[in-house]
Each structure stands twice: as structure tokens, then as C-alpha cells.
């Protein structure tokens, strides 16, 4: 058997072998991806990294896993993903941590998402003092630990300690008022009669119009309310009947305009408030919820104080605190507190306590290393940034201690300050140590430099990409002349590519001055931001960048220019000459497949008009509207112009596959027959144009002024590789952000402030230079640019830096240093300065 084992070991595959991959722009490539190592996929954006990592490795790894589920699923799926790859061998089960983790539900918190709450609930079940039914506390003993019956010394009562399950707000421990969500929805009285100048007959009572039959106005009349005078002129008594009147039955005569029938019937009066409550209790789906939602407001649950826990679940105490209270502590404080538990327990309990405490601390330490120590476990996941959520998933993956899995990580460096990159690398190393493999798509040279192996895609984006241009260890890549990332890996300092502005002339064009009170963990601030310059806001995650810029500055400026009231916490804002503040962030564009690059960039409308003018279209009577794939006569009848159809696979989320009829083109066959000559003298149909990338379309459409101008902007922003018909919601965050930017270029911008939230997402270091050029263009047009950023290349090229911190959460929220990059580099307080040095 000794001999057999070495034989096996020799046969253990060392790499995922990919042969003939053609997903998206991949050029029929063969590539081996080493297993049990950290492998990085690099390349400019659009070069095919994601197509390789997600489109091949993850798609195949997850498909094979799904295959094992059932014959039914298998049949549907193999139809579904006729993977555009000849062969993939030795791919383990794959898990992907996406750049944009799905939107979490109301029941998800940082505690549940990290699973740290499981350990805490176990502590509170096994290690706590428990309350007897008469309200006395019984000190922890091994009996508690074993979930055995307890006896209260004071009253002699016998009772059982709650199990960990009974302490869960997603189960038996839920507050009965809010059902474990921590919030209650109540009717927002101010929305019931939005316009008091209307009469009830004219529809003054909004919920009666949208949630009830309009017959309620007739019933109201029977209740003694005048329905033909403006609502504002009704007596208090009449208004009270509308808002709170009793459910009395009234006999009414009615006349239906729709059917032109008259009749009489008994009808119960539903006051406006009850109308909403009643509709809320009957809501079945999202659509119904939407209709009711506008009459509701959310409040912290008064019964549990937002802790989501029932009174019983908040009873057990450790070190004088209950579960709700400890969940409100930051992870850093909580770890200290947990460390202090063991010494308070009887000797006999300590070994058991030790294992629970250790399991908690190991996971918590991970999260702290990933720079999330400032978060509290009760924080709703929906209020976390995408970077924070992705790191939360990552930490959980390690905690689960799986083995034999390939983890595909899509830009995990998002939102990560240079000082937290080490933590990220540590997590990836742990995954590998547990017998997994890591394939990471990233641009951050600090992350790339730590990989054991690198596969570089290129040479450029789109059509002219999709090849492996270099592969090997970091050392190999650095010395490979074909590599485009190599030179950046060698560079150990960020390069300045913009002209420096002398310290004395920074404020030459004036300033924006803002003063704010404290909000979240951010302290009161006074800040001056130079107009007509590039200001970069830096700081570790949780230090308050987003709060200052997105919750104070932008809403403050918007309110000021609209002459409306400033947000409560904004004391004053002074910004002469700034008329608009525009946020260009990485949130998805559009929510459904109907928004495409062509529609968003405004070229689709133009193209439709053009095709309607062709002789063939005229002969067949097709106007521009017919060429709309959303509503036009020429849209594909099978997929209704979406290009995809959904398969519902049992137990799984629906799977979208390209429409078999139009093959994803969204158009009916007839549309293909209507063609016009391009600048290159070839003839194209509209569906063909839509399947071209921006650069090819630019050639085909040369000579068409407004279309080429719009396409040229996309090209200049490095988006030339996008396909015109590509749906915008599936663009990466960085691509979405640049597409939004494209629609802003080429206008005079002297009255504009642009705010960018991490624009370096998805950008190769060479693309970062292009981006800096775009900022310069905006500034040359007179705009003021503010950027929230972690990328050192961007930071080093700022005119002015505002460094927040020093830490995250309670230990941050101040301006640590402010000034030119040189001044920041000299600041001994600034962590960012240390990296700039």
C-alpha cells in the first residue's frame, strides 16, 4: 500500500487544464491554472480576465457541482451552458466572491453574515447567568453548559437555560413586535393627504385612490365629511374622521363610470390610516409592497430598541451585559470583552469556555486584519459598502474551513486601504493552507505581487485581447518583455504624472467651505476644499470618507443650490459658483437587461432613425419605433427583445440563457434584412451593429457625426471594447462608472463638482493614467473634482489630499492631515502619508 500511495500522489493533478476556451473574447486559448496556490489574473480591463476566471473556471466548477444535483437539473443546465470551451479538466467545485455581492435581506447583519453571532449565541447559552421565571439570576455552572435543568437558589424554581437557537432573532429569539427585524413600519400620516388644496372628490386622500376603490369617497360623504371642499378647509372633526374614523357600515348609492351602471350597497368605512394598514397586512409581492410603501415610515422597534431580540433572549448576562448590548460593540471592543470571559467563570467551566472563546477570537481577528474591526455585529448588512460585504464573505469562507475548493475572487482590493492588504493576503494564504486554490482577479500591484503564479491576459481589450501574453511566477513576469504589468510590479513607488500645483496657488480659484456636526462616528468637521482642483479623500475603511463626502458634502451642495434646507447635521456650506454636484459611482446602471451600452450612450436612438431612413425600411413601412428592441415590431418575439430567456431550475435561482431564436441579438429575423452601408462599404443590419464593440462600430459609423462623437468618448475612456448591445446592469462597477462619466464629457463644467467613489476599481495601472487624464480634462473645463480613493497612484497625483482617520469607526472620523501630497507624506500622524513616503 506504501507503493500505491506514492503512485496516487504522483497522479494528483497539479493544475486546472483549460483547452480551447472561447468565452467572450478569449481566443481559443489553452492555459493551465496551478492548484493549491494563489494565482492572479492580470491584464487591462476588457482583456478577458473575468471571462477566464468567472466565465470558464467558475462557470465550469459550479456547473459540475450542479450536475450532481438531479437528472432534471442536469438536463436543463447542460442545455443552458453549452460552455464555449473544448475541455476543462481537474476543476474543483468553485465558489465565487463577486465584486458586487447580492443585496442582503433585512434579516442579515454583520453578525449573521460573518457567523460570529453563532459563537456569541453559544456563549450566552452556555456561559451566562440565567434568569429564573421569578427574575432572579443564577450564576453559570457546568449544568448550564450542558443545557441541563437549573435550580434557582433564591426561589427554588426549576427552569431550563435557553438554547443557542432560542437566542436567535431569526428564529425563536425574535422580538414579537418587529419579528426580529429591529424596525417597525408605521403609517406616515404626512403622506396620506399630500395636497390639501384638493377636495376628496378630486382624490385628496391618496390611499383611497391607490389602495381602495374610489367608492370610499361616497362612504366618507355618508360619514358626514364634505367631499367637495378643499381638504384644508375641512373642520378638525371631519379631518379626524378621514384619518381615524370608525369602521361603520353605510348604505350608499353608486355610479360606475367604467360600466355606466348604478346600484346600491352596504359598505364599511375604512379610514385613511386603516386603509394603509389593511393593505400592508395583505401584501403578497414586491409590486404590492411598492404601492403601500410610500405611505409608510420606518422606525426603530420601540419594544426591542432595534436589537431584534425578544425580552427572554436579552435576559442571559455575561460580565453584566446581554446579547443585544454586546452586539452593539465594535468588533475590536467586543474581542477585548470576550477575552475577559474565561477568568470570570468557575474553574470547571474554563476548558469548555476556552474552545468557544477561541473559535470566536480566531474569526474576529481575521475581520480585524481585513480592516473591519470598527463594525458592530448588529449593523444591517444592507448599510455596508460593497467592499465591506465582500471582505465579510471572504472571512466567512475561511471560517468554514472547506477544502478542495477553488475560490474565484473578483477584485477583493476594492475599498481596501494599502495598510489592510496584508490582511487580505493572509486570508488567501489561509484558504490555500486548508487545501483550497485561489484565483484572484485584481489590479492592485500590492495584491498581484503576492501571488504564487500570474496569468496575464491581453495584449489589449476586446477583440485585440483574449490571449495569454505572459504567465509564470512574479519574477518571471517582471522580467518578461511581453508583460504590460511587469514594469508596474517593479516600480516600488507611485509615479507622479500630473503637474504639481504650488502650495500657495492651491486655492487660486476659490474654495468650498463646509462645517458639519457629528454623524455616525464622524466628529464635527470644518473643511476647505479647493475649487478647480483634484482633491483626493483618503483613509482606512470606516474612517469616514463616505460619510463626509456622500452624506454631507453632496447633499449639502445639492440643497444649497436648490435653496432648500441643509441636511440636519450640515451646519453651513459655502460654495460660490458651484451649481451642481454630481456623483459618479460604481453602482449598476439600470436594473434590467433592457438597458444596453447603446441605449445609455444615446447612440441607439440615432441608429434607429438611420435605419428607418433606408429604402428597405420605407418600403416595408418600418418607422424608427419599429427598431426598438423593447417595444418595436422588429423585436424578437420569443424573448420579447431581452435576448435571454429564464429557465427555472428546481431549488435554484432562475438561470438565464441566450434566447435560442435570436441568439441574444434581441431582434426578429426581419430586422437582419434591413441593411445599410457603413463607412467601410460593408453592409450592416442593426442587430449586427449592436453585436459589434465600440471600436469596430466607430469604424463602421465613421462619417456619422453625432454617433461617432459619442462612440469616440467611450473609446477615449478606455471602453472601446464594450459591445453596443451589452446590457448595462452586468457591467463591472468600474465600467459602469466610466460609462456614466462618458455622458458628462464634452460639456462646459465650470459650475460642476464631480465626486468619484473609488474610480480606480477595475483599472490596470496604465488605465489609471488614462483616468487621471480624464480628471485633468474635467478640470481644464473648469470643474472641481473630488475623489474617494485608496489607489496610491491616484493619491500621489492629487493636487490636495484630505486624509481621514486615524483608524476606522470610533477611532476615526477626524481629519488627520490635509494638504498637498508632499505635506501629507511628511505628516507623522497619517497612515496614508507613510505609504506615500
Q: Which residues bind ligand ADP (CB under 6 A)?
A: 24-25, 43, 45-51, 374-375, 383, 457, 461-462, 520-522, 539, 541-547, 693, 721-723, 726, 730, 804, 808-809
Least spacing, CB of residue 280 vs Zn ion, in Å: 17
Least spacing, CB of residue 520 vs ligand ADP, in Å: 3
Q: Residue 596 gets which letter from DSSP? A: B
Q: Cβ-count burial of 172 within 10 angstroms (0-12 exposed, 13-18 middle, 19+ buried)?
A: middle
Q: Which of 117, 144, 212, 301 binds Zn ion (CB under 5 A)?
A: 301
Record the cell numbers describing residue 699, joined without a space: 469604424
Record the cell numbers describing residue 417, joined without a space: 486601504
Residues contacting residue 432 through CB under 8 Å, at least 6 positions apart:
36, 37, 38, 438
HSE of 191, CA atoms in CB hemisphere, 13 A: 16
Distance CA 18, CA 59 (A): 12
Least spacing, CB of residue 670 vs ligand ADP, in Å: 24
Q: Assess 338 for contact with Zn ion (CB under 5 A).
A: no
- Identify which of residues 200 and 380 has a Cβ nearer to Zn ion in the complex: 380
- Identify which of residues 658 and 782 has a Cβ nearer to ligand ADP in the complex: 658
Q: Residue 566 gets which letter from DSSP? A: P
- Identify which of residues 178 and 409 has a Cβ nearer to Zn ion in the complex: 178
- Identify which of residues 138 and 438 has a Cβ nearer to ligand ADP in the complex: 438
Q: Which does residue 478 touch among Zn ion, ligand ADP, none (CB within 5 to 8 A, set by kind)?
A: none
Least spacing, CB of residue 549 vs ligand ADP, in Å: 8
- Identify which of residues 58 and 667 has a Cβ nearer to Zn ion in the complex: 667
The span from the first CA to the last CA of the chain, in angstroms, equals: 59
> Which residue has 446602471 as its cell numbers?
589
Least spacing, CB of residue 720 vs ligand ADP, in Å: 9
DSSP string covering 370-428, please?
A: TT-TT-BTTSBGGGS-HHHHHHHHHHHHHHTT--SEEEEEE-TTTT--GGGHHHHHHHH
Distance CA 400, CA 408 (A): 16
Least spacing, CB of residue 496 vs ligand ADP, in Å: 25
Which window, 8-16, 148-156, 178-186, 759-767, contacts Zn ion (CB under 5 A)?
178-186
Q: Which does residue 722 touch among Zn ion, ligand ADP, none (CB within 5 to 8 A, set by kind)?
A: ligand ADP
Site string for Zn ion, 633-662 (x = CB under 5 A): ---x-xx-------------------x-xx
Distance CA 272, CA 240 (A): 10
Least spacing, CB of residue 541 vs ligand ADP, in Å: 4
Q: Which does residue 662 touch among Zn ion, ligand ADP, none (CB within 5 to 8 A, set by kind)?
A: Zn ion
- The closest of 115, 57, 132, 131 to 88, measured between CA atoms, is 57
Least spacing, CB of residue 304 vs Zn ion, in Å: 3
Q: Which does residue 545 touch among Zn ion, ligand ADP, none (CB within 5 to 8 A, set by kind)?
A: ligand ADP
> Which residue has 409608510 as its cell numbers?
296
Least spacing, CB of residue 690 vs Zn ion, in Å: 13
Distance CA 114, CA 376 (A): 11
3-state helix, strand, coil in the chain (%, to 5): 40, 20, 40
HSE of 107, CA atoms in CB hemisphere, 13 A: 10
CB-based contact 473:454 (threshold 8 Å): yes
Q: Which does residue 661 touch among ligand ADP, Zn ion, none (CB within 5 to 8 A, set by kind)?
A: Zn ion
- The closest of 459, 465, 461, 464 to 482, measured between CA atoms, is 459
Least spacing, CB of residue 317 vs ligand ADP, in Å: 26
- Identify which of residues 234 and 698 has a Cβ nearer to ligand ADP in the complex: 698
Q: Assess 178 for contact with Zn ion (CB under 5 A).
A: yes
Helix (H, G, I), strand (E, B) or coil at 49: helix
Beta bridge partners of 525: 516
Least spacing, CB of residue 538 vs ligand ADP, in Å: 9
Helix H or strand E encompassing 32: strand 29-34
Site string for Zn ion, 563-592 (x = CB under 5 A): ------------------------------
How many residues in the shown chain lie near Zn ion by CB under 5 A? Answer: 12
Distance CA 184, CA 177 (A): 8
Q: Which does residue 638 touch among Zn ion, ligand ADP, none (CB within 5 to 8 A, set by kind)?
A: Zn ion
CB-based contact 753:721 (threshold 8 Å): no
Distance CA 712, CA 250 (A): 68
Q: Which does residue 809 touch among Zn ion, ligand ADP, none (CB within 5 to 8 A, set by kind)?
A: ligand ADP
- Identify which of residues 205 and 636 has a Cβ nearer to Zn ion in the complex: 636
Helix (H, G, I), strand (E, B) or coil at 643: coil
Q: Which does residue 139 touch among Zn ion, ligand ADP, none (CB within 5 to 8 A, set by kind)?
A: none
Helix H or strand E encompassing 430: helix 421-433
Site string for Zn ion, 509-538 (x = CB under 5 A): ------------------------------
Site string for Zn ion, 598-637 (x = CB under 5 A): --------------------------------------x-
Distance CA 329, CA 323 (A): 10
- Identify which of residues 303 and 344 has a Cβ nearer to Zn ion in the complex: 303
Distance CA 591, CA 736 (A): 12
Record the cell numbers describing residue 710, joined without a space: 459619442
> How many other C-beta atoms can be found within 10 angstroms of the C-beta atom of residue 549?
23
Q: Which does residue 659 touch among Zn ion, ligand ADP, none (CB within 5 to 8 A, set by kind)?
A: Zn ion
Q: Which does residue 442 touch among Zn ion, ligand ADP, none (CB within 5 to 8 A, set by kind)?
A: none
Q: Which of 304, 375, 514, 786 binds Zn ion (CB under 5 A)?
A: 304
- Identify which of residues 363 and 420 has a Cβ nearer to ligand ADP in the complex: 420
Q: Considering only the C-alpha atoms of the chain, give the largest distance between any 2 of them, rounded to a whole number of Å.
A: 97
- Identify which of residues 212 and 724 has a Cβ nearer to ligand ADP in the complex: 724
Return the CA Rg of the chain.
31
Q: Which does residue 178 touch among Zn ion, ligand ADP, none (CB within 5 to 8 A, set by kind)?
A: Zn ion
Peptide bond into 806 cis (omega under 30): yes
Query: What interhelical angle do 350-369 and 421-433 show, nearest 10?
Result: 130
- Return the residues of window 232-271 that contact Zn ion according to CB under 5 A: none
Record the cell numbers describing residue 56, joined without a space: 470558464
Least spacing, CB of residue 639 vs ligand ADP, in Å: 15
CB-based contact 42:455 (threshold 8 Å): yes
Which window, 176-184, 617-625, 767-775, 793-801, contacts Zn ion (CB under 5 A)?
176-184
Least spacing, CB of residue 410 vs ligand ADP, in Å: 8
Least spacing, CB of residue 437 vs Zn ion, in Å: 37
Q: Which does residue 486 touch among ligand ADP, Zn ion, none (CB within 5 to 8 A, set by kind)?
A: none
- The closest of 781, 821, 777 to 509, measured between CA atoms, is 781
Q: Assess 380 for contact with Zn ion (CB under 5 A).
A: no
- Identify which of residues 393 and 661 has a Cβ nearer to Zn ion in the complex: 661
- Return the residues of window 60-99 that contact Zn ion according to CB under 5 A: none
Q: Residue 515 gets which letter from DSSP? A: E
Q: Which of 117, 161, 175, 783 binds Zn ion (CB under 5 A)?
A: 175
Least spacing, CB of residue 357 vs ligand ADP, in Å: 25
Least spacing, CB of residue 813 vs ligand ADP, in Å: 6
Least spacing, CB of residue 374 vs ligand ADP, in Å: 5
Contacting positions for Zn ion (CB under 5 A): 175, 177-178, 301, 303-304, 636, 638-639, 659, 661-662
Amino acid at each position: 500500500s506504501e507503493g500505491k500511495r506514492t503512485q496516487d500522489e504522483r497522479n494528483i493533478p497539479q493544475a486546472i487544464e483549460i483547452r480551447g476556451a472561447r468565452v467572450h473574447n478569449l481566443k481559443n486559448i489553452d492555459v493551465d491554472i496551478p492548484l493549491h496556490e494563489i494565482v492572479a489574473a492580470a491584464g487591462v480591463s476588457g482583456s478577458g480576465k473575468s471571462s477566464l476566471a468567472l466565465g470558464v473556471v467558475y462557470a465550469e466548477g459550479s456547473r459540475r457541482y450542479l450536475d450532481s444535483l438531479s437528472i432534471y437539473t442536469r438536463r436543463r443546465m447542460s442545455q443552458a451552458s453549452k460552455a464555449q470551451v473544448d475541455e476543462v479538466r481537474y476543476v474543483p467545485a468553485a465558489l465565487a466572491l463577486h465584486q458586487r455581492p447580492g443585496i442582503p435581506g433585512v434579516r442579515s447583519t454583520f453578525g449573521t453574515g460573518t457567523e460570529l453571532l453563532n459563537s456569541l449565541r453559544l456563549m450566552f447559552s452556555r456561559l451566562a447567568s440565567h434568569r429564573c421565571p421569578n427574575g432572579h439570576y443564577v450564576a453559570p455552572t457546568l449544568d448550564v453548559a450542558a443545557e441541563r435543568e437549573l435550580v434557582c437558589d433564591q426561589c427554588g424554581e426549576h427552569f431550563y437555560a435557553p438554547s443557542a437557537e432560542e437566542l436567535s432573532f431569526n428564529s425563536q429569539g425574535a422580538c414579537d413586535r418587529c419579528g426580529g427585524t429591529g424596525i417597525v413600519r408605521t403609517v406616515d400620516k404626512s403622506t396620506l393627504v399630500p395636497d390639501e388644496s384638493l377636495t376628496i372628490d378630486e382624490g385628496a386622500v391618496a390611499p383611497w385612490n391607490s389602495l381602495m376603490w374610489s367608492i370610499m369617497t361616497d362612504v366618507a360623504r355618508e360619514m358626514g365629511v364634505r367631499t367637495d371642499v378643499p381638504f384644508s378647509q375641512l373642520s378638525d372633526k371631519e379631518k379626524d374622521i378621514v384619518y381615524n374614523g370608525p369602521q361603520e357600515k353605510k348604505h350608499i348609492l353608486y355610479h360606475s363610470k367604467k360600466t355606466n351602471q348604478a346600484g346600491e350597497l352596504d359598505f364599511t368605512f375604512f379610514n385613511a390610516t386603516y386603509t394603509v394598514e389593511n393593505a400592508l397586512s395583505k401584501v403578497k409581492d414586491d409590486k404590492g409592497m411598492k404601492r403601500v410603501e410610500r405611505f409608510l415610515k420606518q422606525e426603530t422597534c420601540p419594544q426591542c430598541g432595534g436589537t431584534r431580540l425578544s425580552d427572554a433572549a436579552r435576559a442571559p448576562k455575561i460580565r453584566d451585559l446581554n446579547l443585544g448590548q454586546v452586539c452593539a460593540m465594535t468588533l475590536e471592543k467586543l474581542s477585548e470583552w470576550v477575552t475577559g470571559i474565561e477568568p470570570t467563570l468557575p474553574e470547571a467551566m474554563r476548558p469548555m469556555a476556552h474552545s468557544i472563546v477561541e473559535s470566536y477570537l480566531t474569526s474576529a481577528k481575521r475581520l480585524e486584519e481585513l480592516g473591519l474591526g470598527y463594525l458592530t455585529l448588529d449593523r444591517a448588512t444592507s448599510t455596508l459598502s460593497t467592499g465591506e460585504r465582500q471582505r465579510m464573505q471572504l472571512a466567512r469562507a475561511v471560517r468554514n474551513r472547506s477544502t478542495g475548493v477553488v475560490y474565484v475572487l473578483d477584485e477583493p482590493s476594492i475599498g481596501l486601504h494599502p495598510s489592510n492588504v496584508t490582511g487580505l493576503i493572509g486570508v488567501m494564504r489561509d484558504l490555500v493552507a486548508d487545501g483550497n486554490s485561489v484565483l484572484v482577479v485584481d489590479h492592485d500591484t500590492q495584491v498581484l505581487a503576492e501571488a504564487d503564479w500570474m496569468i496575464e491576459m491581453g495584449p489589449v481589450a476586446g477583440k485585440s485581447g483574449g490571449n495569454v501574453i505572459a504567465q509564470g511566477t512574479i519574477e518571471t513576469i517582471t522580467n518578461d518583455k511581453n508583460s504590460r504589468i511587469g514594469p508596474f510590479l517593479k516600480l516600488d513607488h507611485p509615479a507622479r504624472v500630473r503637474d504639481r500645483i504650488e502650495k500657495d496657488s492651491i486655492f487660486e480659484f476659490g474654495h468650498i467651505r463646509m462645517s458639519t456636526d457629528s454623524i455616525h462616528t464622524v466628529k464635527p468637521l470644518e473643511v476647505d476644499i479647493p475649487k478647480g482642483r483634484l482633491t483626493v479623500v483618503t483613509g482606512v475603511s470606516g474612517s469616514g470618507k463616505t460619510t463626509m463626502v456622500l452624506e454631507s458634502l453632496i447633499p449639502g451642495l445639492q440643497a444649497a443650490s436648490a435653496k432648500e434646507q441643509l441636511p440636519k447635521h450640515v451646519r453651513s456650506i459655502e460654495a460660490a459658483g458651484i451649481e451642481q454636484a454630481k456623483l459618479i459611482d460604481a453602482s449598476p446602471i439600470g436594473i434590467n437587461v433592457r438597458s444596453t451600452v447603446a441605449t445609455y450612450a444615446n447612440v441607439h436612438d440615432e441608429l434607429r432613425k438611420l435605419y428607418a431612413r433606408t429604402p428597405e425600411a420605407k418600403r416595408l413601412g418600418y418607422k424608427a419605433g419599429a427598431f426598438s428592441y423593447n417595444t418595436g415590431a422588429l423585436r424578437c418575439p420569443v424573448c420579447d427583445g431581452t435576448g435571454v430567456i429564464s429557465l427555472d431550475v428546481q431549488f435554484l435561482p432562475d438561470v438565464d440563457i441566450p434566447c435560442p431564436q435570436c441568439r441574444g441579438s434581441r431582434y426578429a429575423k426581419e430586422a437582419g434584412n434591413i441593411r445599410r452601408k457603413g463607412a467601410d462599404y460593408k453592409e450592416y443590419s442593426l442587430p449586427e451593429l449592436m453585436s459589434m464593440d465600440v471600436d469596430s462600430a466607430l469604424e463602421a459609423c465613421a462619417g456619422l457625426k453625432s454617433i461617432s462623437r459619442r462612440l469616440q468618448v467611450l473609446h477615449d475612456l478606455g471602453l472601446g471594447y464594450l459591445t453596443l448591445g451589452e446590457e448595462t446592469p452586468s457591467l463591472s462597477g468600474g465600467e459602469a462608472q466610466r460609462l456614466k462619466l462618458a455622458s458628462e464629457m464634452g460639456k462646459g463644467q465650470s459650475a460642476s463638482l464631480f465626486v468619484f467613489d473609488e474610480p480606480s476599481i477595475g483599472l490596470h495601472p496604465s488605465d489609471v493614467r488614462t483616468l487621471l487624464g480624464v480628471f485633468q480634462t474635467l478640470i481644464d473645463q473648469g470643474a472641481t473634482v473630488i475623489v474617494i480613493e485608496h489607489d496610491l497612484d491616484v493619491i500621489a497625483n492629487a493636487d490636495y489630499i484630505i486624509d481621514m482617520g486615524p483608524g476606522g469607526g470610533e477611532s476615526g472620523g477626524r481629519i488627520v492631515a490635509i494638504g498637498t501630497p508632499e505635506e501629507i507624506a511628511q505628516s507623522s500622524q497619517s497612515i496614508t502619508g507613510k505609504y506615500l513616503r
